[in-house]
Amino acid sequence: MKLIVIEGLDGAGKSTQISLLKEWFAERNLQCRYIHFPRTDAPYFGELIARFLRGEFGNIDTVDPYLVAMLYAGDRKDAAMMIETWLEEKYFVVLDRYTYSNIAYQCAKMPTETEAGRLREWILNLEFNHFGIPKPDINIFLDVPFRFTEEKLKNRRLGDDRTYLMGSSDIHESSLEFQRRVRDIYAAVAAVDESLQVISCRDDDDRMPPPDVIFSMIMNKLKEKNILR
């Protein structure tokens, strides 16, 4: 079946859109499976990622992005067989974040475009060639107005998927300037890599459209790319 990835900045509304997509599948009796990456509750890599995000190894400027990229890639490698099995069993598989998140968040830490480009190619080779994880049928980046992300990150974010923080802050969410750099990397990659499809989640006044409008744009993109009918 099809492997669908939804990408976006922290607080960009990915969870809302994925919930709508899962409901769409359920209403049509289509089998669907879902994973949120990183899997901070997974053994080995997940545990180390959680510790990294809590800041136990240092801040985002002190931990080598190559080492961090390896942790995130390892988490996906451990999940690869499960994803492949689901696809073979004809499930639609929806992922909240995948390889392009690794690229965006780690390359945003590099001091030059050249070094960021080198790391991007290294991550792509590591994940898809060396580890051989499944390649998505589509990667969708939800490009929301940055002030929406800013408002979300200024408020305390709660939920079961936040338990890995153990009361701490997520170091990737602590700097709005870093989030801006992440957004710039997503945009730069999408400009040269057609594997990453951008959906502009803003109206003519640069405001965030309602969730159902964004969902319609996602569905149109999935149908345009022959992922859904």
197: helix, strand or coil? strand
Q: How many CA atoms lie within 13 A of 82 on its CB side?
A: 11
C-alpha angle 192-194-195 in degrees, rounded to nearest 5? 120
> For position 10, what pLDDT does the model report?
84
Alpha helices in the chain (DSSP H): 14-27, 45-53, 65-88, 99-107, 113-124, 146-154, 176-192, 211-224
Query: What gap in Å lies between CA 53 and CA 165, rounded to an integer?
Result: 7
Burial (CB count within 10 angstroms: exposed 0-12, middle 13-18, buried 19+), residue 27? exposed
Alpha helices in 28-175 (DSSP H): 45-53, 65-88, 99-107, 113-124, 146-154
Is the pLDDT at 166 greater than 80, yes or no?
A: no
Q: How many CB atoms lie within 10 A of CB 167?
A: 7
Query: What gap in Å lies between CA 21 and CA 42, rounded to an integer?
Result: 25
Task: Provide CATH code, domain 3-224.
Answer: 3.40.50.300
**For residue 47, which phi and psi values (nearest 5 degrees)?**
-65, -45
Is 0.75 surpassed by the pTM of this model? Answer: yes
Q: How many CB atoms lie within 10 A of CB 203?
A: 12
> For position 58, what pLDDT does the model report?
93
Q: Rounded mean pLDDT of the chain?
A: 93
Q: In which element (H, E) is residue 174 found?
A: none
CB 97 within 8 Å of CB 18: no
Is the pLDDT at 163 greater than 90, yes or no?
A: no
Tens-digit pLDDT profile for residues 66-119: 999 999 999 999 999 999 999 999 999 999 999 999 999 999 999 999 999 999
pLDDT band at 121 (very low <50, low <70, confident <90, very high): very high
In the DSSP assignment, the letter for residue 90 is T
Tens-digit pLDDT profile for residues 209-226: 999 999 999 999 999 999
